[in-house]
Amino acid sequence: MLPRLSSGLAPRLRGFFLDHDYTPGGVHALLGAQAHAALSRGEPEAAFRATRGAGELGVIVRLLLLGGAEPEPAVAAALGHPSDLVAAGLLRETPDGLVAALDVRPYGDDAGSDSDPYEDAWWVVSDLETPAVRQQRDHVTGAGGASVTLAAATVRRRVTGLLDLGTGCGIQALHASRHAGVVVATDVAPRALAMAAATFALSDVDVELLAGQWLEPVADREFDQIVSNPPFVPGPARVDYIYRDSGQAGDAALAALLRKLPSVLVPGGFAQLLGSWLHVLGENWPDRVCEWLPPGCDAWILQREVVDPAMHVGTWQRDAGLDLDSPQARAQASHWMDWMERERVEGIGFGHILLRRTDAAPTVVVEDLPGELADPLGGEAAGWLDRVEWLRAHSSDEALLAARLALSPTAVLERYSTPGTEGGWADAGAALVRGDGPRWRHEVDEPAAALLAGCRGELPLSELIALVSLGHDRPHDAVVAAALPAVRELVRHGVLLPV
């Protein structure tokens, strides 16, 4: 069933949601931390118990968030005429009462203002996450892990125009409405476009929706920023689920998209994507991915994890709600793994891709960042763009030596030791660690530690190097040759900051 919200129903329903505080903060306050955490783990009973005696908000939460059945009078008191909601495709009638036909849940953005407690309140419309619904080919997911990951990694700066490529239920476009003058969202799936339209109507957000494959709907336009969570799951050339499968074998679709993105970016415009790539036997994965990059683009490719073929298949089968012991799931897994064996796939990488169109000599950086991130990646991505520009302007040794640099205020020097041969501890080395963002870590020797200790924004780098050369009795040219590449890497990682 597709949502069909009339121009009058959407604002009325939004009014009911606000009146009863069906917002991210309101739901969290009602459920409490423990029940909210249990619900996020797929354990609803604590949440059901927390809604007892909660009036109209309790009715809405049980109905739209917990999948419960509610009597018609209770729904009418909380949300107005139930017949309107049934006709709109949001609810359906059952012998036990009214139940949700679609998932309608509050979603928030921390960028809302303090003066308006409801400014950060949106509502996302998507398909229910029941096993039967999840296995439909055109299933539209809600605010899942991938969507939230991309949203947290996106640069939030004022731009004139932003493209949300493959919008799904509209998560990225909602966030974009905070910082983009014009937001355009595209999708190939009619069902996804209908869900996104309902999301934008309920959330009172103005987005231009266009139907079509990949960049076809915007082939004659250019944007300052593009965000995309494309169907990136590598596998055989088929489409079991539109939201994840491209229909092309392996990572060919991602490669083709990267090559075409500059055609719809303004000079200096940038794109941010989630992506997944194959680790192929006998091939270097960074070289393989870099071959896809178009000319005239800075690129930061950040690999967050690598999984083996069996884990890759199992993860995405569980994501689709399949019973992994069923004959259907086993046949699908066998076909998938046969394909990877033929293609000599050793592993599957997942991560972030940041591209920027440039007329200068491009900077391309490929690196691994495994493990959990304590801070959102969006600020780091914005900083990376700025620092690459600064390094480009200081590309000559002379310009870098004349610069004044300061250590990040969160940077710390860690020294470590190993057991000594005659008891006690023996110094084994030191590392400079940034205490925020990705927690970049750089091994340093004593001259480097001394150089960095002097980086307080007071003296140019050339004078600091001269002091280190004198104090450690090292040839000046040797210190310069060792320091400059390391300094450039530390600036790129935000450990050293231009003053």
Taking residue 86's Cβ as centre, other Cβ atoms within 10 Å add up to: 17
Rounded average pLDDT over 161-175: 97
Domain ranges of the chain: 1-101, 109-389, 394-498
The whole-number pLDDT of residue 114 equals 45
* Per-residue pLDDT reduced to its tens digit, 93-120: 999 999 999 999 999 876 544 445 455 6
Would you call 46 exposed, middle or buried from its count of C-beta atoms within 10 A (0-12, 13-18, 19+)? middle
Is the per-residue pLDDT at 85 higher than 50?
yes
* Per-residue pLDDT reduced to its tens digit, 472-483: 999 999 999 999
Considering the domain delimited by 109-389, tell me its CATH architecture: 3-Layer(aba) Sandwich (3.40)
pTM (2 d.p.): 0.93
Helix (H) or strand (E) holding 430: strand 425-433
- Residue 461 CA to chain centroid, in angstroms? 36
- Residue 190 CA to chain centroid, in angstroms? 24
The whole-number pLDDT of residue 70 equals 97
CB half-sphere exposure, 310, CA atoms < 13 A? 0
The whole-number pLDDT of residue 112 equals 46
Residue 131's pLDDT band (cuts 50, 70, 90): confident
The whole-number pLDDT of residue 130 equals 84
Rounded average pLDDT over 127-143: 87
Residue 241's pLDDT band (cuts 50, 70, 90): confident
Task: At 226, give phi and psi (nearest 5°).
Answer: -130, 135
Is the per-residue pLDDT at 133 higher than 90?
no
Which residue, among 238, 195, 235, 229, has the nearest Cα to 316 in the 3D structure?
235
Would you call 486 exposed, middle or buried from its count of C-beta atoms within 10 A (0-12, 13-18, 19+)? middle
Is the per-residue pLDDT at 188 higher than 60?
yes
Taking residue 69's Cβ as centre, other Cβ atoms within 10 Å add up to: 15
Report the mean per-residue pLDDT for the chain: 93
CATH code for residues 394-498: 3.90.930
The whole-number pLDDT of residue 244 equals 87
Residue 49's pLDDT band (cuts 50, 70, 90): very high
* 465 Cβ contact list (under 8 Å, min separation 6): 401, 451, 476, 479, 480, 483
